[in-house]
Amino acid sequence: MEPPVPGPRERSSRGQLPKKRLGQHFLKDPNTARIVAEGVTAGDVVLEIGPGRGALTTVLAERAGTVHAVELDRDVLPYLKDALGERTNVLVHEGDALLFDYASLTPRPNKMVANLPYNVASPLVLRLLEEFGYLRVLRFMVQLEVARRMAARPSTKDYGAYAVLVQLLAEVRVAHKVSPRVFDPPPNVWSGVVAMERREAGTLKPGEYAGVKELVVSAFRSRRKRLVNNLPEAARSGAPGALASLGLGRDARAEELEPGDFVALYRELSWAMG
């Protein structure tokens, strides 16, 4: 059980006030910033999303060759630029992280390191994994509940379609728990540092991911139903035999399958998934 968290959200103690609609909780603790930036070296080009006032950005600037900092809130940019001082290896880009054209970044980043805004973390991480294969490492802070959902194992309450999809694309672990007290203002929940390393080619064949994703989303559509009953009608007749080949019975539910099992199941049923 985690220690108690602070009471009601506090107003920011200095600088630009955080905006609730943007999910802003500014990092203020340098030790936590160093934990998040662990593993960054001079050979890295780092993508940071939501730099805020720059507590993490300054640590990244000390370690990385180049930092691309993408920030939606232009009101916070003066505080970010003040924190960076004379550093010239940080390139600040204004834009919405969910819509930003990451392919336009030069030099191309190989890592994403960030204190992610709470309200965009889940869809953003999946988009980065799906669309930008050159990001080999993602290391970031999110709400602890979200972090656990990303790293969840089969047959647990947090395991669902999202966990399967991110784990098909990357090895995922929760590296640290983070107290609310290192943020300004402190959130009402604990956070977690998630470490992701992209899987090498081989788990999925080229062109397979979209079909596997469709299967995974269908399989988890209703957790109360058997997996077979969640599949498109055309795939249901072949599903029991495909499940048997994985050592599973016809009554198996989606949460019993490992991420790799969904790939094997798709290969057996792809003829019926179109």
- Residue 13 binned pLDDT confidence (cut-offs 50, 70, 90): very low
Q: What pLDDT, on a 0 to 100 scale, did the predictor assign at position 19?
A: 45
Q: What is the pLDDT of residues 213-232, one digit of tens each?
A: 999 999 999 988 999 999 99
Alpha-carbon radius of gyration of the chain:
21
Q: What is the pLDDT of residues 256-265, one digit of tens each?
A: 999 999 999 9
Q: What pLDDT, on a 0 to 100 scale, did the predictor assign at position 8?
A: 37
Q: Percent of the chain, pLDDT > 90?
A: 82
Rounded to two decimals, the pTM is: 0.89
Q: What is the largest CA-CA distance in the chain?
A: 65
- 194 forms beta bridges with 140, 174
Owner of token pair 């900092």 = 69
- 198 forms beta bridges with 170
Question: Mind giving me the DSSP string for the chain?
Answer: -PPPPPSSPPPPSSSSPP-GGGT--EE--HHHHHHHTTT--TT-EEEEE--TTSHHHHHHHHH-SEEEEEES-GGGHHHHHHHHTT--SEEEEES-TTT--GGG-SSPPSEEEEE--TTTHHHHHHHHHHH-TT--EEEEEEEHHHHHHHHPPTTSTT-SHHHHHHHHHEEEEEEEEE-GGGEESPPSS-EEEEEEEEPPTTSS-TT-HHHHHHHHHHHTS-TTS-HHHHS-HHHHTTHHHHHHHTT--TT--GGGS-HHHHHHHHHHHGGG--
Owner of token pair 């991911």 = 209
Across the chain, mean pLDDT equals 91
Q: What is the pLDDT of residues 17-54, one digit of tens each?
A: 544 544 468 999 999 999 999 999 999 999 999 999 99
Between 175 and 205, residue with greater pLDDT = 175
Q: Percent of the chain, pLDDT > 70?
A: 91
Q: What pLDDT, on a 0 to 100 scale, did the predictor assign at position 6?
A: 46
Q: What is the pLDDT of residues 74-117, one digit of tens each?
A: 999 999 999 999 999 999 999 999 999 999 999 999 999 999 98
Q: Which domains does the chain have, with CATH numbers?
A: 20-198 (3.40.50.150), 209-272 (1.10.8.100)
Nearest to 164 by CA among 112, 231, 217: 217
Q: What pLDDT, on a 0 to 100 scale, did the predictor assign at position 235?
A: 92
- Residue 248 binned pLDDT confidence (cut-offs 50, 70, 90): very high
Between 12 and 126, residue with greater pLDDT = 126
- Residue 12 binned pLDDT confidence (cut-offs 50, 70, 90): very low
Nearest to 194 by CA among 256, 131, 129, 134: 129
Q: What pLDDT, on a 0 to 100 scale, did the predictor assign at position 173?
A: 98
